[in-house]
Structure 1
Amino acid sequence: MFACSRSEAPCFTRCTFGSINSNRWVSVASKGIIQPRSILPGNSLNFMKPHPQSITVPGPKMEELCIILHVLVAILLFFFFPVLTSQAIETQSLLQFKSYLQDPSNHLESWKPSQSPCTFSGVICDSSSGEVVEILLANRSLSGEISPSISNLRSLKSLDMGSNMILGTIPSELLTCTNLQLLNLSYNDLTGPLPNLSLLKNLQILDLSSNGFSGKFPEWVGNLSKLVQLGLALNNFDEGEIPPNIGTLKNLTYLFLSRCNFTREIPPSIFEMTTLQTLDFSMNNLSGNFPKKITNMQSLYKIELYQNSLTGEIPPEIAKLTNLQEFDISQNKLSGEVPVEMGNLKNLTVIHLFKNNFWGELPMGFGDFQFLKAFSVYLNGFSGEFPPNLGRFSPLNSIDISENNFSGAFPRFFCQNNNLQYLLALDNNFSGELPDSYATCKPLIRLRVSQNNFNGTIADGIWGLPNAVIIDFADNDFTGMIPSEISSSSSLTQLYVQNNKFSGQIPLEIRNLAQLQKLYAFNNMFSGYIPSQIGDLKQLTSLHLENNELTGPIPYEISTCTKLVEIELAQNSLVGVIPESLSLLTSLNSLNLSQNMISGLIPNGLQALKLSSIDFSKNQLSGEVPPGLLIIAGNKAFFGNPDLCVDRSLESQLRDGLEICSFNRKHRDILGRNPFLVVIILSLLFVILAGLVIARYTNFKLEEASERKDFEKGMQNDGTWKLESFHPADLVVGDICNLDEVNLLGSGSTGKVYRLDLKNGGTVAVKQLWKMNKEEASLAEIDILQKVRHRNILKLYACLSRDGFSFLVFEYMSNGNLYHALRREMKVGVPELDWNKRYKIAVGAGKGIMYLHHDCSPAIIHRDIKSTNVLLDEEYEAKIADFGVSKIIEESDLSCFAGTHGYMAPGKPTYYSLCYFFISKF
């Protein structure tokens, strides 16, 4: 490979490396130190380029140094060069891998061609070889697909992309990564059948749970003998049995096969996996008896068999599972008594037995648990005394014992360690008082003890639990009043106290329950007025106060609870009238005011609501029943109101209990017998109306002529004009005051508009206001217009004023207004406004209106959007003009109708009326 020869110079020896010919000159100093004469620039492979010179070392004894140098070069060739080549390949593969993904959160920002892959976020390299061994990208909000380029990462041991939004299928190229030990693609959106991954013999963790994989459940998982954790749950596999060869995975500690569409019994081989710690076959359709052999798996700390069709009883041998912490066999068809031996499982933290057919008493040993956090046995047939010490020694967080037959005193220690958040004991036979110990249970979120036999009063602190969302005391024999402490339950959304013997007034502090949605307090003995503070409950949807002893009127404030769907106030002693404001409750579906002493008329506005249930019977109502309500509810909803009647047109729908309104009949008979009277009345009304219109018009013209005369006279008076500018413009007072009638653009109820050519070459429009005799109105108008800034609102340049006379200077619109543009034609007979221009104008005008609504404070209501008030510049950009002027000028004179009659929306000007103006034209 190499040879050394003496140089002609006595102090140097030449070493030639024949096979690679990568020679360098090396000079040797007097102390024998070898120094490279040159360092080759360029990429990492430059050291392999041949050099025309040789390596010369001094003296015959330097041959050994040549040998050492050769060895070093050989090491570099055989080790460093392959690493560099492999790293380049892995870099390209990872960049291609990135290109298949969408990364909205820029977690892969560091993946750049100029960087080493070992610096990429989520990538880990081997410390000695420098090759990529781990890709850890779980929970990075990634989407897209898995690139086949993953196959180039031959040393990859871990691929973790769980909890993302990856689509597509698992590429078959992944099978070449035979060093994989961890593959986690769980909680993504992968689909299709699973590829056979049995070639990945080194896999220890395989988790593909919660995707959309379909087809037959993969039996090849039984060939992955090194598996420690297996998760294929929550996919769409075909219905079938659990493959028995899963039981051959003797190293398995974690088995998660929930909702895999399994049927029939669990194969016996499963129970031979003695190292298994977590067994989860939940949400399948497994059948057969509860497997007794499961008690041989003494390493188990978690059993999840809920939501299957298992039958039989829990075997006493369950006590052998001394490591068991979580035991969930709920929603099966299990029966029998819970074995006493189960009370010896002292490490239990979770017990879920709900929705089965268990019966008998619970083991008293349950009260000795020290780690229990969740206990749920609802919907069974348990009976007898409940273990009184349950929760006394454990950090209990939630308990649900509802819909059983437990009896006796209610346990007092559920919240002993002040961790309890959920206490549900509905539909049992508990009796006596609710223990006061729960008054200090501040973490409680849900407290439900309805449908028992409780009596006595409830401690004030229980009413005021600060974190309670639901409080349910319904269907018991509780007495006493609701205390003011209820104001502390500020998180409450549902309060159920119906069917008890509560009394006293509904507390005013109920106003503090700002989140309350449902208030059920019927069938009690509440008295006094319905508090007006109920109007502060803006989230209220259901109000049930029927069958109490309430008096006084229905508070009109109830109409501010705009989300109300149900109002049930029947069987009280309410008086007064039905508030007209109830017509504002647009979500109202049911209204029951029956069996009270309510009088007066039924509001016609209730017909506009989408009511499906109405009952006004047995009151003291009078007048005509609104036809719409009669059609919805029928006669029975109005029985027991002697003074109610219906229109003759609804006579065919009448049954017993209501009569035709006699006044209507008499009135129509008179008109029917005297048709000339109708003509006379109508003619008289027409004459009066015409006279009022003529008088109003004449008065308007006289005032207009007088004001024009005053304006011309005022213009001749001496005085100083005040010019206030709002945008840069070269304006001369003399030019503004001396407008030429030749340049008149138009006139209206507020003044004339002129075109004015400025000396600097620009053009503006000047509006001469002749009705501005109220200085406050003028100032208010200017104050609003100077603050308006939007490309679709006509720009106000300046205001010139003196002694009540004003000129407003606006930007000039060369294409006039929309009204005329719609009617103009081009020279070739084509309309001036094609559809593109019309669309542009509509959008521009809409943006201007939205600006007036939402960006102006206070908001501006135009009142007079019409085609003549939409101006167009030379680019046909729409600009809204004259907004609010008429209203502002006349806002203290209610007799002045300032808007244009054809475009005024009915009712009071609002944001919605402005939309009405806009839609009426566009």
Structure 2
Amino acid sequence: MAKNQAPFFSLQFLTTFLLFFFYLSLPSMSLTVETQALLEFKNQLKDPLNYLDSWKESESPCHFAGITCNLNTGGVAEISLDNESLSGEISPSIAVLQSLNSLVLSSNLISGNLPPQLNNCSNLKVLNLSGNHMKGSLPDLSSLMNLEVLDLSTNNFSGGFPTWVGKLTGLVSLGLGKNKFDEGEIPESLGNLKNLTWLYLTDSHLRGTIPESIFELKALETLDISKNKISGNFPKSISKLQNLYKIELFKNDLTGEIPPELADLTLLQEVDISSNQMYGKLPLEIGNLKKLTVFQLFENNFSGEIPAGFGDMHHLIGFSIYKNNFWGEFPENFGRFSPLNSVDISENKFSGGFPKYLCENRKLQFLLALDNKFSGELPDTYAACKSLQRFRINQNHLSGEIPDGLWALPNAEVVDFSDNDFSGGISPKIGVSASLNELVLQNNRFSGKLPSEIGRLTQLERLRLSNNGFSGEIPCEIGGLQQLSSLFLEYNSFTGSIPAELGRCAWLVDLNLAWNSLSGSIPNSFSKMSTLNSLNLSGNKLTGSIPNDLQKLKLSSIDLSNNQLSGRVPSDLLTMGGDRAFVGNKGLCIDENSRIHVNSGMAVCDEKHGHQGFIRNKLVLFCIILSALIVILGGLLLLNYWNFKLTEPFTKNDLGGEKEIDSKWTLESFHPVDFDADEICNLNENNLIGSGGTGKVYRLDLKKDGGTVAVKQLWKGKGAKVLTAEMEILSKIRHKNVLKLYACLTKGGSSFLVFEYMANGNLFDALHREIKGGRLELDWYQRYRIALGAAKGIAYLHHDCFLPIIHRDIKSTNILLDEDCEPKIADFGVAKIAEGSPRASEFSCFAGTHGYIAPELAYTLNVTEKSDVYSFGVVLLELVTGRRPLEEEYGEGKDIVYWVSSQLNDSEDVLKVLDHRVLSDLVEDDMINVLKVAMLCTTKLPNLRPTMKDVVKKLIDAEPCIFRSPDNLDKNGKVFL
């Protein structure tokens, strides 16, 4: 072994000698070698905060910022430059600092390789380079026999796991976690580090079992091997580590039961073995760990009861065991003597009474106990729990009235009592809960009036009270909830009129007041709710006419059925909701030209009573129906005649230069737009606005109504399949975030699709387009609106269509923007209707666009909704980073998902990936929240990705705070302060 190492050490000696010679040979002989070495070290770094300004040739190194000298020799002993925003690389010149015993450069932006010349710093005791961007294989530093602290964690080091660290027998702290080492096992040689107290190997691509040698490290206090692929049973031998106070083994593949021997570790304070595959009951002895502060084992398969000893603990702060199979009654005294801060026992099978003392010490902030079998009344001990922020006890069997004080939680942000058997009313004290963001009480037996004090909850975004027994009038004070996005009051007994003040809720997205006893008319103020997406007022006693201005709203869902409404149904609303949205209103009628949109016999408005609506005379009604049949037959004859007239030769050159002669145009119309076939089919190349894999797209200003449409002329050959796909899907879709298909024309091999025109083009171009002054066209607030709107469109395709639709080519160029930058999903030429459709197996070879393709499509052609989710995640990354899906900087064969993942090592790295052209203190947190959603969407395993419905919810949760105030936004969603 010595022979093999000799050349290496000879090379190091030669390098050091040359460095000494170089610095001694410099013209300014008055400068010391160490000064020159540090100045060279500085020159290799970028210092945006000018922290190193004191590093000058005229100064002694002992006066340099971050430098400490040895009092005896005067040599440089310590370099401490942690968290100074330094970037660049570490210069090998540092090797001449022979007295150096501590080098700390943690939490910076330093990149490049670790210089092997560090081996010459033989007195080094502390080497901490954690939290940087360093890369490459680690050089063998085993000659640094004086090292006590080696922390290289949270970098991008690669290659094999450094087995040479087992030779550094003086190490007390070892951190190699969060790097990109090749997958491999934990080396047995780590057992040589008998002085080790801190071992940090999280997220290091380790697999296999934990070697027995690790359990011989008797001095070990912290063992962290989390987020790896460690397998096998939970090791009994861990009980040998008598000084252990922290165990972090979460997110591995551990199996088996927790051994009773774990309770022998009497110093244990923190235990986290969550997200493994462990099972069995908790040993009773675990309750004897009296120093426990954190105990987490969520997402496993544990069962049985919680040991009673947990009720006697005095230091427990965090307890999280959700998603297991625990059952039985919860320990009666749990929390009675502990300063609990967070408890999550959700998704288990606990029964009996709800635990009384979880907030006994008034420090509890998070109490999550949803989806269990707790019964009985909620203890009144929680009425004094003013520290609560999230309180979710939904999906249990709890009953009785809510203690009065529990409605008055000043710090609560989420209160969810839904899906229980609670009764009684909401106390007026609810007004004290001024921080409340979400109040969910649906599916209970609550009753009484809704207190007007609910109008004081100015932070409230979601109010869900459906399926209860609430009565009385809806308080007009709800109109003061300026941030409200969801209001669900259906299936109650509310009476009186709908408060016009609801129109002040400018950010309301979903409004459901169905199946109450509401009377009066539909308020005209509803037309002011520009963000409203769904409106359900069915099953009430509403009278009067439908406000015509409701047509201005871009609703995807409307239901006004089963009321007492009268008058004309606005044609756009009829198109949007179909006749089912208006049935059960005997006084409603439709225009003659609207009959093509309905399938049932809704009455036709007569001219005389157009605004009263209903034709009462049965004889007249019969005549109208008969006349309508004649009109339809006449229309068919007229259409045949029109098609006959269109048989004249079509002389415009097609894409291949050939001319279509003596063939008829066939027209299918899906939305009422007035145009001539001739103008659609005679397109001007000067109006070409795009060209892609399925055809060319032109802008066309219609002659008849002066409107503008987009016309896609499909390539021959592909045209038939694309035409069929887009017609089958878009002709049935009605959603404000999905592009409208007005009509299609075919003749021989030529095909044209007529779409609504999108003035701002596609998202990809808009994202990279600048306007006057060099500013970007899209600021963060507009990007967020686009992200949320596009997500809603895709969620509609996945979840709200009769058969789910998989788009299969979600990308920023297929998200179009109208004049208000409202996004619409486009290009359904390769979309797939879910199983059960005759088209379900078509285009199976298509996998999407490079840069957006989900990783599973490399080995399967089974495209699912989760493939769309991945592609949309890439779009979110584009919005957050301002980058393209594929760039040379990412490396060969790499994409934006890889690049972002490689940067996200710590909170400082997060800021590095955000688009600094739109980043500010105001939006930093908002951008990070959307980035988190993007990373969830682009998770490698499809089953770990959220559904698009969940994505919409997460994006709503990530809504910018300033965005919620309409006074700060212009009509295009831009913010002005």
TM tier, smaller: 0.5 to 0.7
Would you say how many aligned residue pairs link Structure 1 and Structure 2?
A: 598
Q: SS of the residue aligned with 2:103?
A: strand
Q: 1:374 aligns with which of 318, 336, 342?
A: 318
Alignment of 1:30-179 (within 5 A): 88-179=32-123
The aligned residue for residue 857 of structure 2 is none
Q: Distance in 2 between matches of 1:614 and 1:331?
A: 43
The 1:664/1:237 distance shift into structure 2, 3 A limit, reads farther
Q: Equivalent of 1:658, from 580, 599, 602? A: 602
Contact 1:613 1:633 in 2 (8 A): yes
Q: Give the direction of change, closer, same or farther, for the CA distance of 1:189–1:660 in structure 2 (3 Å limit).
A: farther
Secondary structure of 2:295's match? strand
Does residue 293 of structure 1 match 2:293? no
2:502 to 533, 558, 572: 558
- Render the CA deviation track for 1:455-501: whole Å, top value 9, x for unaligned: 11112211111111111111111111111211111111111111111
Report the residue type matching 2:43 in the other structure. Answer: S
Query: What does residue range 445-460 of structure 1 map to in structure 2 within 5 Å?
Result: 445-460=389-404
Deviation, structure 1 residue 336 = 0.6
Pair 1:217-2:161 in alignment: yes
Task: Identify if the C-alpha distance between structure 1 residues 382 and 87 changes in structure 2 by more than 3 Å, giving closer, same or farther.
Answer: farther
Tell which deviates more after alignment, 223-232 or 350-359. Answer: 223-232
Q: In 1, Cα distance between the equivalents of 2:396 and 2:72?
A: 71
* Amino acid in structure 1 at the alignment position of 2:418: A
Alpha-carbon distance in structure 2 between the residues aligned to 1:657 and 1:456: 48
Inter-partner Cα distance in structure 1 for 2:85 and 2:556: 47
2:592–2:604 Cα contact (<8 Å) kept: yes
Aligned residue in 1 for 2:423: 479
Query: For residues 570 and 182 of structure 2, what CA distance do their matches in structure 1 show?
Result: 60
Alpha-carbon distance in structure 2 between the residues aligned to 1:285 and 1:292: 19
Shift of 1:307: 0.9
Shift of 1:558: 1.5
Looking at structure 1, the residues matched to 205 and 98 of structure 2 have their Cα atoms a distance apart, in angstroms, of 35
Q: Which residue of 1 aligns with 2:740?
A: none
Match of 1:648 among 588, 592, 599: 592
1:613 aligns with: 557
Distance 1:169 1:620 in 2: 76
TM-score, scaled relative to structure 1: 0.62
Tell me by how many angstroms 1:914 deviates: 14
Task: Say whether the 8 Å CA contact 1:635–1:657 is kept in structure 2.
Answer: no
Contact 1:282–1:308 (CA<8 Å) still a contact in 2?
A: yes
Q: Please give the residue correspondences for 1:488-507 in structure 2 after superposition, counting only pairs within 5 Å.
A: 488-507=432-451
What CA distance in whole angstroms lies between the structure 2 residues aligned with 1:321 and 1:195? 37
State yes or no: 1:235 paired with 2:179. yes
The Cα shift of 1:913 comes to: 11
Q: Partners of 1:914 and 1:308 in 2: how far apart?
A: 47
Within the candidate set 467, 470, 480, 2:411 is matched to 467
Aligned to 1:272: 216
Q: Which amino acid aligns with 1:397?
A: N
Q: Rg: which structure is higher?
A: 1
Aligned to 1:634: 578
In structure 2, what is the equivalent of residue 673 of structure 1? none
SS in 2 for 1:528: strand
Aligned in 2, Cα 1:640/1:666: closer, same or farther, shift over 3 Å? closer
Whether 1:436 aligns to 2:385 is: no
Evaluate the alpha carbon distance shift between residue 603 and residue 217 of structure 1 in structure 2; reply closer, same or farther with a 3 A threshold.
Answer: farther
Instruction: Kindly indicate whether the alpha-carbon contact (under 8 Å) linking 2:31 and 2:57 is maintained by their aligned counterparts in 1.
Output: no
TM-score normalised over the length of structure 2: 0.59
1:199 aligns with 2:138: no
Which residue in 1 is equivalent to 2:249?
305
What does the per-residue CA deviation read over 1:355-386, in whole Å, with 9 as the maximum and x for residues that have no partner?
11111111111111111111111111111111
The residue identity in structure 1 corresponding to 2:591 is: D
CA distance in 2, matches of 1:542, 1:914: 22
Select which of 124, 137, 145 maps to 1:180: 124
Mapped to 1, the partners of 2:250 and 2:57 lie a distance apart of 51
Q: Please say which of residues 305-314 and 109-118 is displaced more in the overlay.
A: 109-118
Looking at structure 1, the residues matched to 116 and 527 of structure 2 have their Cα atoms a distance apart, in angstroms, of: 66
1:364 aligns with 2:308: yes
CA-CA distance at 1:86 after TM superposition: 9.9
The counterpart of 1:549, out of the listed 475, 486, 493, is: 493
Contact 1:87 1:131 in 2 (8 A): no
Q: For residue 402 of structure 2, give the secondary structure of its aligned residue in structure 1.
A: coil
SS at match of 1:662: coil
Please list the CA deviations of residues 422-468 of structure 1 after superposition, one character each: whole Å capped at 9, or x if unmatched.
11111111122111111111211111111112111112211111111
In the aligned structure 1, how far is the partner of 2:109 from the partner of 2:158?
Answer: 18
2:568 maps to: 624
Q: Bigger shift: 109-118 or 518-527?
A: 109-118
Deviation at 1:666, TM superposition (A): 9.5
Deviation, structure 1 residue 605: 3.0
C-alpha distance in 2, partners of 1:532/1:569? 14
Q: Please give the secondary structure, in 2, of the residue aligned with 1:660.
A: coil
Amino acid at match of 1:185: L
State the 1:106 CA deviation.
3.1
8 Å CA contact 2:138–2:162 kept in 1: the answer is yes
What are structure 1's unaligned runs of at least 5 residues? 1-83, 671-841, 847-909, 916-922
Match of 2:363 in 1: 419
Q: Closer, same or farther in 2 for the Cα pair 1:293/1:579, shift >3 Å?
A: same
- The amino acid across from 1:609 in the alignment is L
Which runs of 5 or more residues in structure 2 are unaligned?
Answer: 1-27, 612-622, 628-770, 776-967
Secondary structure at the aligned position of 1:358 is classed as strand
Q: Which stretch shows the higher mean deviation, 276-285 or 584-593?
A: 584-593
Moved more, 451-460 or 618-627: 618-627
The sequence identity of aligned pairs, in percent, is 56
- In the alignment, residue 323 of structure 2 is paired with which amino acid? L
For 1:324-343, list aligned pairs within 5 A: 324-343=268-287
1:221/1:572 CA distance change after superposition, 3 Å: same
- Contact 1:647/1:664 (CA < 8 Å) preserved in 2? no
Q: Secondary structure at the match of 1:124?
A: strand
2:29 & 2:419 partners in 1: Cα distance?
Answer: 79
Which SS does the other structure have where 1:336 is aligned?
A: strand
Compared CA separation, residues 520 and 666, structure 1 to 2 (3 A): closer
**Is residue 579 of structure 1 aligned with residue 516 of structure 2?**
no
Larger mean Cα displacement after TM superposition, 382-391 or 174-183: 174-183
Q: Is the 8 A contact 1:287 1:311 kept in 2?
A: yes
* Partner SS state of residue 606, structure 1: helix
Is the CA contact (8 Å cut-off) linking 1:648 and 1:665 kept in structure 2? no
Q: Does 1:256 align with 2:200?
A: yes
Greater relative contact order (CA < 8 Å, ≥ 6 in sequence): 2
Q: Kindly indicate whether the alpha-carbon contact (under 8 Å) linking 2:568 and 2:610 is maintained by their aligned counterparts in 1.
A: no
- Displacement of 1:399 in angstroms is 0.8
- Superposed, 1:593-604 pairs within 5 Å as 593-604=537-548
Contact map agreement 1:178 1:201 (CA 8 A) in 2: yes
Contact 2:462 2:484 in 1 (8 A): yes
CA 1:295/1:176 → structure 2, altered by over 3 Å: closer, same or farther?
same
Q: Residues 843 and 191 of structure 1: is their aligned pair in 2 closer, same or farther, counting only changes over 3 Å?
A: closer
